[in-house]
């Protein structure tokens, strides 16, 4: 009983912390986007990543939190289909957006003589077509869920794999052999691009570190450019993503091969599914000091704007 209560509290706290963290990150970059002199593509990608994280947390974390506290089923068949479909689409969007973030950041910090510089986005608006493609791709890949998800209130004689309030119905082998290869191909392509861009950034940061050591030995002052500091933050995000993604895959494989119903492993996997959505904004907040920056600069801008309006209408 005590362990169940602890699980309920931890699940609720993780969902709340992750949601508030992503809202803080998205609001900070939105303010920077509209009020800043330069609209950076990275800021737009981080806003989209925070938005997809919020969808994951609300679509998966909230129903699981309600179920953990033993409240009655408030989802009908349409509600189950909508929530789980959005959660699956958002997880795919998280993979695609994280890959795009890594690739764009690697292009931004690439040397001027490098051939990658010609792919650098000239405007943040050039990123929007990628978002449209990601939404369409993941919406199509997840279409099978509309037919395979049902509420627990319906006929459960054909159901398996409990999802608290919602269940996965048995799918045909033909559907599995269509959807599964598409998901594997998507993950392989985008994680391959993510890995290549991350390795390229590590190489550039290593060269930069050697250059800094040389300047320090020469007693010359040198400051790390903002682009390289941003690259370090992106690399931390990617390490966070890789850890939660592959740990989740390992637990999912273990559960699929396990003969018994290991409730502890299922609970751990539920936490892992939400892990990246929860910790990625915390990485940005800790690394870049977003909360302090947002609370100081944006409050100053708001105060100046209100003062201007007050003086104008006096």
What gap in Å lies between CA 216 and CA 158, rounded to an integer? 69
Phi, psi of 153 (to 5 degrees): -70, -20
State the average pLDDT over residues 240-245: 92
Q: Which of 58-62, 119-123, 165-169 has the lowest mean pLDDT?
A: 165-169
More confident residue, 224 or 10: 10
- Tell me which DSSP letter residue 314 carries: -
What gap in Å lies between CA 270 and CA 266, rounded to an integer? 6
What gap in Å lies between CA 240 and CA 243, rounded to an integer? 5
Yes or no: say if 230 and 42 are a contact pair by the CB < 8 Å rule: yes
Q: How would you classify residue 261: left for phi > 0, otherwise alpha for psi between -120 and 50, otherwise beta?
A: beta
Task: Please report, to the nearest 10 degrees, the dihedral formed by the alpha carbons of residues 302, 303, 305, 306 taken in order.
Answer: 110
Q: Which of 13-27, 41-55, 93-107, 262-276 has the lowest mean pLDDT?
A: 262-276
What gap in Å lies between CA 103 and CA 116, rounded to an integer? 10
- Share the mean pLDDT of the chain: 78
Residue 102's closest CA among 123, 86, 88, 116?
116
Residue 133's closest CA among 96, 104, 105?
96
pLDDT of residue 191: 94
Radius of gyration of the chain (CA): 22
Residue 64: enclosing H or E segment and its boundaries? helix 62-68
> pLDDT grade, residue 259 (50/70/90)?
low
> pLDDT grade, residue 155 (50/70/90)?
very low
Superfamily designation of domain 2-312 = Rhodopsin 7-helix transmembrane proteins (1.20.1070.10)
């Amino acid at each position: 009983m005590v362990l169940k209560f602890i699980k309920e509290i931890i699940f609720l706290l993780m969902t709340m912390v992750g949601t508030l963290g992503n809202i803080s990150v998205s609001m900070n970059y939105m303010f920077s986007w509209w009020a800043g002199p330069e609209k950076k593509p990275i800021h737009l990608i981080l806003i989209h990543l925070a938005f997809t994280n919020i969808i994951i947390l609300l679509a998966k974390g909230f129903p699981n939190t309600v179920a953990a506290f033993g409240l009655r089923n408030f989802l009908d068949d349409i509600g189950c289909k909508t929530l789980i479909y959005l959660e699956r689409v958002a997880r795919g969007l998280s993979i695609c957006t994280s890959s795009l973030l890594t690739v764009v950041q690697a292009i931004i910090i690439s040397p001027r003589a490098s051939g990658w510089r010609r792919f650098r986005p000239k405007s943040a608006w050039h990123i929007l077509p990628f978002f449209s493609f990601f939404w369409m791709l993941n919406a199509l890949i997840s279409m099978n869920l509309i037919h395979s998800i049902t509420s627990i209130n319906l006929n459960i004689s054909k159901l398996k794999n409990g999802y608290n309030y919602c269940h996965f119905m048995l799918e045909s082998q033909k559907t599995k052999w269509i959807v599964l290869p598409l998901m594997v191909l998507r993950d392989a392509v985008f994680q391959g691009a993510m890995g290549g861009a991350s390795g390229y950034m590590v190489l550039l940061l290593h060269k930069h570190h050697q250059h800094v050591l040389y300047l320090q030995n020469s007693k010359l002052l040198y400051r790390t450019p903002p682009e390289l500091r941003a690259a370090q933050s992106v690399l931390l995000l990617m390490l966070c993503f890789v850890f939660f993604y592959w740990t989740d895959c390992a637990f999912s494989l273990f559960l699929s091969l396990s003969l018994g119903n290991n409730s502890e492993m299922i609970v751990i996997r539920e936490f892992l599914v939400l892990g990246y959505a929860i910790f990625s904004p915390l990485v940005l907040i800790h690394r870049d000091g977003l909360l302090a920056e947002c609370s100081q600069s944006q409050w100053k801008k708001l105060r100046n704007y209100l003062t201007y309006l007050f003086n104008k209408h006096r």
